[in-house]
Structure 1
Amino acid sequence: MSQSRWSIVLIFALFIFGSTGVNAFFNFGHHQQQQQQQQQSYEDQVLNNPCDGYLCPDTLTCVAQQKDCPCPFPKSQLKCVLPDNKFVCISKPATHNEKFRAIYDDPVKGPKAKNKGFRDCGWVSDAYKNH
């Protein structure tokens, strides 16, 4: 066999066995034992939910009333209650000031805060009233 044929055979062998080895490595050898999790669609989750109150559309949390729904990302969002008992979730204001950060991280003080220069729930309330 000529040298070029050996090169082709060697490259082909490396490709076949190399890809199998890489696949086994990245799948940790469990490529045939993969488990497929069946995730329910959003519609199925809503329709099959046993909630007997109000089902929050963003979090699928069951609460007594719509105004009791939590924000989907409470660590980074403030829940601002509007005058008509509706609410809107906004991003917490970004600040390096520890005093303001403590206020906005507080679940009671944060939604009631109205600090000049920050787009917080006070700002949302003013914007809603002037709407």
Structure 2
Amino acid sequence: MELLNIFFLLIGTFGMGVKAQFGFFDQMFGGGGRQQEPQDVRSDSSWYAQQYENAHCSKYLCPGTLSCVSFPHHCPCAWENVEEKVELGEGIAVCASKGGYKAGETLKKIELARKGLL
């Protein structure tokens, strides 16, 4: 009986040693099923500059969306669900937050602002 207890004690000790060994590797290499917290993006523009530099475009590369278009005023808005593109003339376009529920309301507000009425 005592021999059986010693046997189970050795098996238990061996099992704990194996668990400790692999637990060390889990911690070292990020295993163990634990999710790592997402990290904030960097505060410098080097990542964006690298993407811009590596983008291939034979026409005009839009700085806000990295889209390749024929003319600068053809650049799409980055957030088309909440922005509206307004062409101001002479090939100039801006993206502005949608002004409300009616189509064209953003353009009306920009025109009022250009006239100094808003």
Could you say which TM-score interval applies, normalised by the shorter chain? 0.5 to 0.7
Contact 1:82–1:128 under 8 Å retained in 2: no
State the one-letter code of the partner of 1:122: K
Contact 1:58–1:72 under 8 Å retained in 2: yes
Could you tell me how far apart the structure 2 residues matched to 1:50 and 1:26 are? 39
Q: Which segments of structure 1 move beyond 4 Å, counting only runs of 4 or more?
A: none
Corresponding position: 1:24 with 2:32: yes
Could you tell me how far apart the structure 1 residues matched to 2:55 and 2:33 are? 40
Q: TM-score, normalised by structure 1?
A: 0.51
Corresponding residue SS for 1:41: helix
How far did residue 123 of structure 1 move? 1.4
Cα distance, 1:128–1:85 mapped onto 2, change above 3 Å: farther
2:107 to 121, 126, 131: 121
State the one-letter code of the partner of 1:93: G
What is the aligned partner in structure 2 of residue 110 from structure 1?
A: none
Aligned residue pairs total 83
Larger radius of gyration: 2
Corresponding residue SS for 2:32: helix
What is the aligned partner in structure 2 of residue 46 from structure 1?
A: 52
Unaligned runs of 5+ in 1: 1-15, 32-39, 104-112, 115-119
**CA-to-aligned-CA distance 1:73-93 (integer Å, 9 cap, x gap):** 001100011023211111112
Percent identity between matched residues is 28
Unaligned runs of 5+ in 2: 1-19, 37-45
**CA-to-aligned-CA distance 1:52-106 (integer Å, 9 cap, x gap):** 01100000000000000000100110001102321111111244xxxx3xx3xxx
Contact 2:99–2:109 under 8 Å retained in 1: no
What is the aligned partner in structure 2 of residue 77 from structure 1?
A: 83
Cα distance, 1:42–1:87 mapped onto 2, change above 3 Å: same
Corresponding residue SS for 1:44: helix
How far did residue 42 of structure 1 move? 1.5
How far did residue 125 of structure 1 move? 2.3
